[in-house]
Amino acid sequence: MITHFSDPALRTRFHDLAATTVAKRADDCTAEHRLDLDSWQEISAAGIWKLPVAEELGGSGGTWWDFAAAFEGVAAGGRDLGFCLSMVAQAGLIRSLSTYGTPDQRQYWIPRLLNGEVGATALTETTGGSDVTRIKSAATSAPDGTYRLTGHKDHITNGPAADLALILGRVPEAGKRDITLFLVDLHAQGVTRGAPEDMMGNRTSPTGPIALDDVRVESRNILGEIGGGVDLIYDTIALDRLLYGILAASYLDPMLDEILAYTQQRQAFRVPIGEHQYVQGRVTDAKFALESTRWVSYGALDALLQQRPEASLMCSVAKYHAGETLKLGTETALRVYGHLGYMEGPHTKALKDALGAVIAGGTAEMQRKNVFNQMRSLQHAA
Ligand SMILES: Cc1cc2nc3c(=O)[nH]c(=O)nc-3n(C[C@H](O)[C@H](O)[C@H](O)COP(=O)(O)OP(=O)(O)OC[C@H]3O[C@@H](n4cnc5c(N)ncnc54)[C@H](O)[C@@H]3O)c2cc1C
């Protein structure tokens, strides 16, 4: 049973802030293919990242429900999916550090993220993103007790703009179980951040390569244990997965309101198109999907925070629905607006942005795989 809900006052506050920042700059940032760092700073200064973080780390001592409420506000008020994808990456990194960081790691890295620096989580390489065990980035230990990390990451959200990153690599000398997470300052010597990749959408959430050439990483900047990277990353990106669901619902809310209004204005066959049942069906299908996604995501957040056994399964359900619902909702707009929807503009942009969500954060197929595996393991545990 869900024990908390997101706070409407926080939602409204961040909605209004995003409407006067993110929404105003989204077109320019799309054209210029960049993360909107001005809005990022303003939203950071308003304390969004502090919401779920303990006071002793500079946070405001709330919970992830508070963050979810504020994030819903940004999604609905900012109306820019890309900006929110960049926020998901940042939130995931904050949770990784809060949950698994040592006291030193938390003290050092978290305040940077709370105060406007941009974070990234870099798993994917040219060998593929679904099967992260094929990564080749690797570290060797140096005589001074540090590690030297070399490798190449691709398609990393915030990569071109990020200040720090959680990077998945290997420590071959550790033996068979060697996949490990490294906290890396992206301004360090040996790190090169590439130009934004030319994606069809989400141009305000630039993805890009991160090249690491013999980068010095102190052993205290290993997150978790050497060899513990895969388990840890699967757990920490669980939050990212459900945030996609929260994002999908809140981003589509105002769009669906506009679609509904349009069905009452636009006439066909001497009546508003909203009188035609096939049109009504499209609108209600989008609403069914949106509400299901919202509520399954709340359920997933609750399960995650309560550390219930079904948390991972629920987060994958939320992520799966997020991608499909964003696709359906934005396609509904395109269909209902007819030729106006098909003209290059806000509706085509929304659809192109939405399609990124069936791949980013783990593909739909990988969510199915996780759900099936989790179903089996929950059954065995019962
Ligand atoms: C907008 C965007 C942002 C991104 N941001 C990041 C980021 O911040 N950090 C990061 O590390 N990566 C990021 N990525 C990369 C993303 O995580 C990968 O693209 C994704 O995991 C898929 O990997 P791939 O592209 O290599 O496809 P592949 O892994 O090569 O998969 C190709 C196809 O095969 C399917 N497939 C693979 N294995 C299976 C299986 N076992 N069962 C069924 N189907 C399977 C996949 O679902 C897919 O359809 C981002 C991608 C996008 C589009």
Instruction: Note the pLDDT of residue 7.
Output: 83
Cβ neighbours around 154 below 10 Å, total: 20
Instruction: Note the pLDDT of residue 235.
Output: 85
SS3 231: helix
SS3 150: strand
| CA–CA separation, 320 and 364 (whole Å) | 5
Please say whether the beta carbons of 39 and 80 come within 8 A.
no
Closest residue by CA, ligand 1 atom 44: 365
Q: Indicate the residue type of 219.
A: S
| CA–CA separation, 205 and 247 (whole Å) | 14
Ligand 1 centre to CA of 125 (Å) is: 10
Instruction: Note the pLDDT of residue 320.
Output: 98
Indicate if ligand 1 lies below 6 Å from the C-beta of 202.
yes
Between helix 22-32 and helix 8-20 the angle, nearest 10°, is 50
Closest residue by CA, ligand 1 atom 53: 360
Pocket test for ligand 1, best of 96, 155, 158 (most atoms within 8 A of CB): 155
- Closest atom of ligand 1 to 122 CA is 11
pLDDT per residue as tens digits for the range 116-152: 999 999 999 999 899 999 999 999 999 999 999 999 9
Instruction: Note the pLDDT of residue 242.
Output: 98
Instruction: Note the pLDDT of residue 382.
Output: 85
Which stretches in the chain have pLDDT values below 50? none
Ligand 1 centre to CA of 3 (Å) is: 33
Domain architecture of the chain: domains with CATH = 8-117 (1.10.540.10), 121-227 (2.40.110.10), 230-381 (1.20.140.10)
Ligand 1 centre to CA of 357 (Å) is: 11
| CA–CA separation, 242 and 294 (whole Å) | 9
Pocket test for ligand 1, best of 33, 83, 124 (most atoms within 8 A of CB): 124
Q: Which run of H or E residues covers position 146?
A: none
For the record, the structure tokens of 331 come out as 């396609």
pTM of this prediction? 0.97
Closest residue by CA, ligand 1 atom 25: 129
Instruction: Note the pLDDT of residue 338.
Output: 98
